[in-house]
A and B are shown apart, each in its own frame.
Chain A
Amino acid sequence: MDIDQTTREPIANEHLAAIRPDMLRFARLQLRDAAAAEDAVQEALLAALANARQFAGRSEAKTWVFGILKNKIVDVIRQQSRSCNISSFSDGEESLDQTFETLFKDNAHWTPASRPRDWGSPEAALRQQHFWGVFEVCLNHLPENTARVFMMREFLDFETPEVCQELGITVSNCNVILHRARNALRLCLERGWFTEGEKTC
């Protein structure tokens, strides 16, 4: 006998309505296309409504619905990657590369100005609404192909070899792209949050 049975209930429409804005935000970040994001969220909500699964609470339901949304986004990315060629890298990717190189002296050690700083206890930022706005801006600043690789790896739970396979790029290329993406994001957070953010507070 399931002792939790009395507390479990099917997902309610108002739960879904409350989750929808977060779903849209997530889908827009991943797909960078408002219409495609809207479609993916719509499909995920329909799939959630069609499913009679029961939940022990709001956060469990939200995790489940986000799982459905992720699958929908992966489907869209698969369709897109068949129709466009990611190996055609843009100026954006090249400039990330240059940014990375300028952090180092000729002997490949940090220049004094670029040596990464101690962010203290950055976890506190995760509880601040404004931080998430900054983080989204940083993610949206990544060049398109770099963003795609980073999103697939970090948000859609692909392993690196799967990302490469899906996008038709080599593993070493994939590693370089992820490395540059992470570097760009930490620089962006340092500028947008861990330096200026602290000063204005």
Chain B
Amino acid sequence: MLNCKQATRLMSEAQDHPLALGERLPLRLHLFMCVGCRNYGKQLDFLRAATRELKTGSEPAPKD
């Protein structure tokens, strides 16, 4: 069984390359049962969305 620490590592790596089947399935099983890690995954997705906007320069500039 995966623990949360391992699950966060796999979720981070999933942002960089497709996971192997032997990683994907245990991760899915873990996420099914663990709300903390599901939230972690959503937070990483949001982080990716924010960096995307910043790098295309499409975000509203912060007021100084």
Which positions in A face B, CB cutoff 8 Å? 19, 21-23, 25-26, 29, 59, 62-63, 66, 70, 104, 107-110, 115-119, 122-123, 125-130, 132-133, 135-136, 153-155, 159-160, 175, 178-179, 182-183, 185-186, 189-190
* Cα–Cα, bound, A117→B61 (Å): 27
Could you tell me the distance between the alpha carbons of A62 and B57 in the complex, rounded to whole angstroms?
8
- How far, in whole Å, are A26 and B59 apart by their CA atoms in the complex? 11
Q: Assuming the A-B contacts A108-B3, A108-B5, are A26 and B40 also in contact, with contact meaning beta carbons closer than 8 angstroms in the complex?
A: no
When distances are taken between beta carbons in the complex, the residues of chain A under 8 Å from B63 are 129-130, 133
Q: With A and B bound together, what is the CA distance between A118 and B38 in angstroms?
A: 9
Cβ-defined contact, A104 with B5, below 8 A? yes
Closest A residue to B2 by beta carbon equals A108
Determine the residue in chain A with the shortest Cβ distance to B5. A108
- Tell me if A's interface is mostly helix, strand, loop or mixed: helix
Min CB distance A191 to B, Å, is 13
Say whether chain B's binding surface is mostly helix, strand, loop, or mixed: helix
**Cβ-neighbour of A185 out of B5, B9, B17, B47 (below 8 A):** B47
Selected A-B contacts with CB under 8 Å, 27 pairs: A19-B57, A22-B57, A23-B57, A26-B54, A63-B56, A70-B55, A109-B3, A115-B36, A119-B39, A122-B42, A123-B49, A133-B62, A136-B62, A153-B16, A155-B51, A155-B54, A155-B55, A175-B12, A175-B16, A178-B15, A179-B12, A183-B12, A185-B47, A186-B43, A186-B47, A189-B43, A190-B43
A159–B42 alpha-carbon span in the complex (Å): 22
A18–chain B nearest beta-carbon distance, Å: 11
A116 CB contacts on chain B under 8 angstroms: 36-37, 39-40, 43
* Cβ contacts under 8 Å, B43 to chain A: 116, 119, 122, 186, 189-190
The distance from the CB of A30 to the nearest CB of chain B, in whole angstroms, is 9
| Residue in A135, A153, A186 whose CB lies within 8 Å of B44 | A186
Per a CB cutoff under 8 Å, which of B4, B37, B48 touches A154?
A: B48
Inside 8 A of A29's CB, which chain B residues have their CB?
54
B4 and A110 within 8 A (CB)? yes
